[in-house]
Amino acid sequence: MDILKRGIGVNFNAHNEAVVNVWAPDATQVSIATGTLVLELKPDLAGYWSLCTALIQPGDVYWFIIDKEQRLADPASLAQPDGVHGGSQAINTAYNWSDSSWENIPLHDYIFYEIHTAAFSHEGTFKGIINRLDHLIALGITAIELMPVASFPGKRNWGYDGVFPFSVQESYGGAAGLQELVNICHQKGLAVVLDVVYNHIGPEGNYLSAFGPYFTDKYKTPWGNAINFDDQGSDGVRNYFIENVLMWFRDFHIDAVRLDAVHAIKDFGALHILEEIRCHTSLLLEKTGRKHYLIAECDLNDPRYITAIGENGLGMDAQWVDEFHHALRVTAGEPARGYYEDFSGIQQLAKSYKDAYVYTGMYSVVREKTFGRKAFGKTNDQFVVFSQNHDQIGNRMLGERTSKLFSFEMCKLMAGAVLFSPFLPLLFMGEEWGETNPFLYFVDHSDPALIMQVRNGRAKEFAAMFDQGKTPDPQDEATFNQSRLNWELIGEHQHACIFRYYQQLIALRKKYFSFTSHEAPGVSILEAQNSLLLERKCADPTQLIWCVLNFSTEQLVLDIPAHLSISTELVNSASSIWHGPGEPSTTGLTGQISVQSESFIAYSAKYV
């Protein structure tokens, strides 16, 4: 594999010749067709078929023909102008980049903002995101995270039903539109993270099996047969996904990828596919001098995923931590049903602040087994936390955001809990102004049987957690339209206020906490009061930030710890400037303080 250029699909060399490579190990003949032209490929090593020709040009729509019978789109297609059932379009990914001075920011400075391209703006495109970047910069965001952009069936989709991992959805703006977005983000100082899905391929428009053993019945996943990473004939499959990661980094200048649900990747070979992706990514970094990160979504509480390869790990740089979210939500009043049943509240939130994982070898009622292990020796910037994200909203039956489930005061408290945590914070689009529109699950399939299967599957999924109301129809366009952001809200009174509040929290985080990747915060639990006290260290070893998180509905009177001297109140969510009920009367910053119900306060302090 040449790490510096794409080795599969249709690509163009310096002479503007099309270099064609496709993996079809069981074929006896492979051709490429465009218009009336049909060109035969030659068998190459390890099941690949290849051709170099000047007869295919950028813009041409083409098909592969397998054994003179099957006419199929390119598995490594870069564009599907006529949808997932149409032909592939040859494009040249060369782009006039102007980001040569861009250096990816340190991971500990990432403040993520998750975006669904279609639902984020009125335009529903990468251009629509570009038009709102200044809003994100004003908020204080340092990295946007795009939900998957791989070509999917129909006009609308969450993104996790993509069937062409290399092809950027045409309605979003295609490959060139994504490159433009990344280029402008870098000009404005923003990193770009892309969500990629390597644990399954969507059900409609998935023709990979016609080319080779991309799937195996050796394992089952929630989406059917697993992708074949370790069974017979898996070398070409592994190469396919390694090429995909490298393409995003090399040809699109993506700064980090978020690998969806890696716990559903089934690979029991000696060299795990994630480790191999890490190795090739590291080699690319050496060749280009650029920095890229690999971030995994994983619910196994297994630190091996974020342990260096040299220490017998899989080499991911960081991971999402759903357990922080679950503990936070239950502490705030979320009913402990469904997957929340394992969480009882304040004790587990405190544990997550200290250990990231909640379950580190304890019995899980939901999993019906002892679960997890401690993440010894890991740094805070290896964990991403949030109070909401696409999954935790969209996997609710009615797609309610935090702003619809909790009081205004509790929403501000939860924002403080995330942004003053020692971990990397992630916001979900619209959270910063208290968006009230839901974010529902939506698709646009064409197969009636599949549509019914999705409808029934969603209803069944919600049965354990929600017992009221009718599940919105994922296929109905109205479900998608309800999920679009309402940008007009941001100028309204309370929404404008919470936006300023988020700005303040982020500014304080940047000022005090950007360096603290190794810090272990001090955490004290006031269980009877459903409250936490956090001590966060600063650059000056004698200084710290002391935070009070009162999740109860009662005012809290606290003795200031004897080892602390409090100097300045940095932020108080109950303050009238944040449209709160106002600070309660207090005796000052010595002796005792009073804390309003459902509020977050942070003080600058020093050790006595």
Numbered residues of the known binding site for substrate: 258-263, 322-326, 390-395
| Placement of tokens 């017992």 in the chain | 467
Instruction: Give me the residues paired with residue 147 across strands.
Output: none
Annotated catalytic residue within 297, 342, 435, 444: 297
β-pairing verdict for 362-364 and 543-550? unpaired
Interacting residues of 531 by C-beta distance below 8 A, sequence separation 6+: 346, 525, 548, 549, 550, 551, 552, 556, 595
Round to whole Å and give the CA distance between 98 and 184.
9
6: exposed, middle or buried (Cβ count in 10 Å: 0-12, 13-18, 19+): buried
Round to whole Å and give the CA distance between 432 and 499.
5
| Placement of tokens 């929404």 in the chain | 495
DSSP 223: T
- Assess contact for 20 and 48: CB atoms under 8 A: no
Round to whole Å and give the CA distance between 374 and 358.
9
Query: Residue length, the chain?
Result: 608
Q: Is 44 a catalytic residue?
A: no
Round to whole Å and give the CA distance between 122 and 485.
8
Both tokens of residue 129? 């995101």
User: For 63, phi and psi rounded to 5 degrees?
Assistant: -135, 155
Residues marked as binding? Answer: 258-263, 322-326, 390-395
DSSP letter for each residue of 420-471: TSSSEEEEETTGGGT--S----------HHHHHHHHHHHHHHHTTT--SSPP
Annotated catalytic residue within 74, 260, 355, 435: 260
Interacting residues of 69 by C-beta distance below 8 A, sequence separation 6+: none
| Placement of tokens 């004897």 in the chain | 562
- Assess contact for 100 and 108: CB atoms under 8 A: no
Round to whole Å and give the CA distance between 69 and 78.
23
Q: Is 260 a catalytic residue?
A: yes
SS3 call for 4: coil
Both tokens of residue 94? 């060369």
Round to whole Å and give the CA distance between 323 and 299.
8
Of 502, 353, 324, which is closest to residue 413 (Cα–Cα)?
502
- Assess contact for 301 and 360: CB atoms under 8 A: yes
Vertex 603 angle, CA 598 and 606, to 5°: 145
Query: What is the set of active-site residues?
Result: 260, 297
